[in-house]
Structure formats: structure tokens, C-alpha cells
Amino acid sequence: MVTLERAGAQDFALWQSFDPHLAESEYRLKAEAGRCLFVYEAGQAVGVLRWQLFWDWIPFVTLLWLTGDRRGRGVGRQAMEQWEAQMRAGGHRLAMTSTMAEEDAQHFYHRLGYHDCGCLVKNCPPLVENMEIFLIKAL
């Protein structure tokens, strides 16, 4: 069974083992706001889900990361379904996320009912990356 559990300030070392890109100061702010969640399966932390509010009102998954052995087994789907249920319970009617165009994650989100709603081309040195696809779903 997959569950989502809110991360606390004391969990930074564990969080960083899954998400080394998030600075500790930002982690503490997000964790305090309930926007850093551990993905647990059978009592073991197997990933993380980080989110924020797009335009200050649309829940937006900024990171869903699972250990390699948990990918393709329904763990991510269950984590997203639980997160979406939490967002619905909080009164939200939409959810968003994004992924780089060359990543397979877009197909995962399409299977969950998300559809493309725009893109961003990051071509402003020193940030030059491939296109980011934005996806949206009615909850």
C-alpha cells in the first residue's frame, strides 16, 4: 500500500537523499507549509512528492521522484491519486505539473488524465535547456 506522509524539518537528510536539488532553507519553508511529502510503500520511504501553488491557486507538482525499483509498478500513480484527492478535499478544482519534453514522464501524466496546456523554452544563458511541457487536469 502506498501512502503520502508530510515531511518535517527534522527530515531534511532523508529528503535530500531523494531530492538533492532543494536547498535546506527552501525545504524548511515547503515542509512547514505541507508541500514536501514522502511516498511510502510497505512502511519504507521510496520517493518524494514536492508541490506548490501556480498563480497562487492551482496545485502544481514540481517533483515526483521514486527509487528506480518502484517505477512502473503503480507507486507513482497511487501517490498522484492520493495527492489529487487531498487537493480536491482542500477545494481545488485543477492540478498542474510540468516535465521536460524529452522525458518519459509526460506519458505517465497523460495516462493519469493530464493534458498538455503549454510549454516554455528555456533559452536564456546560462539557462539553456530543452522545452518544458506544462500539463493540467480537472479534479
Domains with residue ranges and CATH for the chain: 2-138 (3.40.630.30)
Which cell numbers hold the place of 122? Answer: 528555456
Q: What is the pTM of this model?
A: 0.93
Q: How many CB atoms lie within 10 A of CB 133?
A: 21
Give, for all 139 residues of the chain, the pLDDT tens digit.
999 999 999 999 999 999 999 999 999 999 999 999 999 999 999 999 999 999 999 999 999 999 988 888 999 999 999 999 999 999 999 999 999 999 999 999 999 999 999 999 988 888 788 899 999 999 9
Which cell numbers hold the place of 118? Answer: 503549454
Q: Which among 97, 135, 102, 129 is positioned nearest to 116, based on CA atoms?
A: 135
